[in-house]
Structure 1
Amino acid sequence: MREAVVEPSTSPEVSGSRRRNRRGELSRRHVLEAAMRLLSSGGPDSISANMVAKEAHVTWGTLQYQFGDVDGLWAATLIHILETAGPSIWARPSAGSVHKRIAEVIDLLWKALDSPYSAAVSNLRSGLAKDRFELERTYPRTAAALDELDENWALQFREFFDGVAVDPLRARQVIALLPAALRGLHAEMAYGSPVDSNDALAGLRNALTLYMTPPPA
């Protein structure tokens, strides 16, 4: 006996559900892009879910339905940044030496500091609790999303140096140091410091090359 063939449903109910899901996804993305714009502006009210709702022209009830609460909103915004920023910031290395790859990765990160993605993450971090225990208590999903961002950076850095010899311990230490060092220099430039950024970046490249290169056997 031949088995019955079940045809895919094309009922109005299914089609309507798909349209509703599509509209929901578009609405969610619209809110996340509004949140990122607001956060990257750095304004005094940028870290405000109510302001995000206003920027996105939606109600607070819509935000609750889509994200659950403020913690869910910020966590989703960070994941949105992670998913959209990577291709615009990271590139595959083109050089074969430690020194040139360090120069490339510093150049990529330095340019990324001027992106709205970087500004959004920095402004959100600045508005949240600095104590890790307090952050996890009040915004557990946001804390986890920030961890995911940091882990992604570490992975990208390690992969950037695939194929060249670097000291693994020192590379791990540079992963922790480099973003903070570049943010500090970038802030100095923003405040009108007389420091020559080209000289500072050249010194950083040379120092990290010496530090990350394994000692001769």
Structure 2
Amino acid sequence: MAEGNSTMQSAAGTRLNRRGRETRQRLLDVAIACLAEGTGDSLSANRVARAAGVSWGTLKHQFGDLDGLWAAVLVELTDRSGANSPEAWPQFSGSIRERVQEMVDAIWTILHTPEGRAVETLRAGLPTDRAERLSAFPQTAAAMAGYEDAWLRAFEYALVDLQLDPDKVHRIECLIPPAIRGINNERRLASAADVASARQGLVDAIAAYLQ
């Protein structure tokens, strides 16, 4: 886990002992589970504390406030995704289309995991206005940017040996996550065949653009 070392500190700057580290990890696991459910008040710190069987004071000691909790959750999720561990990334050797297909499939799969659903719930629960989000949740906004940047670097890595136009690669990096989220949102309204066709159309269009 991202936060499992013996030098970990609480929000107050005190060094956590083994029990403190275990409590912190339990709170992170419970917070992710609450977010993944996406029901009720998913972004309630009190709900997380109750579900973890601790007091609000314990949560506050560990993370400081709601902003600190969600920032820590995003750091944990970034670590779990493996996107921030280049040494563990696979080697890519296929065509442009094959590599784009792998990345699209990877994001699609992640969206359906508890971790992926947790990120989407958290994203939807934050203020939509950028200035308000940065003011109210500065740590969370920074951690969300780090989560997304890790995946952008993973996409760059998948194409790095193909000597493609860097401007085109950057545009596609910015396009794929929201495009996949949009298709994912259509699952409730469209047939499985239509959704699959939309994904394949996206892959075909991106591959043709990058050629």
Question: TM-score scaled by structure 2?
Answer: 0.86
- Considering only aligned residues, what root-mean-square deviation do their CA atoms show, in Å? 2.0
Q: Measure the CA separation in 2 of the matches of 1:149 and 1:94.
A: 22
Matched with 1:206 is 204
Matched to 2:61, the amino acid is Y
Deviation at 1:93, TM superposition (A): 4.5
1:117 to 115, 118, 123: 115
Deviation at 1:78, TM superposition (A): 0.8
Q: Does 1:33 align with 2:34?
A: no
Deviation at 1:147, TM superposition (A): 1.0
Q: Measure the CA separation in 1 of the matches of 2:145 and 2:56.
A: 27
Give structure 2 stretches of 5+ with no counterpart. Answer: 1-15
Q: Does 1:71 align with 2:60?
A: no
User: What's the CA shift string for 1:55-77, capped at 9, x where partnerless?
Assistant: 11110000011111111111111
Matched to 2:81, the amino acid is A
Runs of 4+ in structure 1 displaced over 3 angstroms?
none
Task: From the superposition, tell whether residues 97 and 165 of structure 1 become closer, same or farther in structure 2 (CA, over 3 Å).
Answer: farther
Q: Measure the CA separation in 2 of the matches of 1:21 and 1:147.
A: 30
Matched with 1:150 is 148
SS of 1:162's equivalent in the other structure is: helix
Matched with 2:5 is none
Question: TM-score scaled by structure 1?
Answer: 0.84
> Which deviates the most, 172-181 or 192-201?
192-201
User: How do 1:189-204 and structure 2 match up within 5 A?
Assistant: 189=187, 191-194=188-191, 196-204=194-202
Equivalent pair of 1:171/1:212 in contact (CA under 8 Å): yes
Give structure 1 stretches of 5+ with no counterpart. Answer: 1-19
Matched to 2:199, the amino acid is L
Q: Identity rate of aligned residues, in percent?
A: 38
SS of 1:141's equivalent in the other structure is: helix
Equivalent pair of 1:98/1:166 in contact (CA under 8 Å): no
Q: Measure the CA separation in 1 of the matches of 2:114 and 2:89.
A: 18
Matched with 1:22 is 18
Q: Measure the CA separation in 2 of the matches of 1:94 and 1:143.
A: 31
User: What's the CA shift string for 1:37-88, capped at 9, x where partnerless?
Assistant: 000100121110000001111100000111111111111111111111227x
Matched to 2:163, the amino acid is A
Equivalent pair of 1:93/1:101 in contact (CA under 8 Å): no
Matched to 2:190, the amino acid is S
Matched to 1:80, the amino acid is E
Equivalent pair of 2:186/2:195 in contact (CA under 8 Å): no
Equivalent pair of 2:92/2:158 in contact (CA under 8 Å): no
Deviation at 1:31, TM superposition (A): 0.3
1:95 to 93, 108, 112: 93
Q: Measure the CA separation in 2 of the matches of 1:160 and 1:55.
A: 40
> Which deviates the most, 158-167 or 91-100?
91-100
Q: Does 1:180 align with 2:178?
A: yes
SS of 2:162's equivalent in the other structure is: coil
SS of 1:160's equivalent in the other structure is: helix
User: What's the CA shift string for 1:179-207, capped at 9, x where partnerless?
Assistant: 11111111101x13136222222211111
Query: Could you say which structure has the larger radius of gyration?
Result: 1
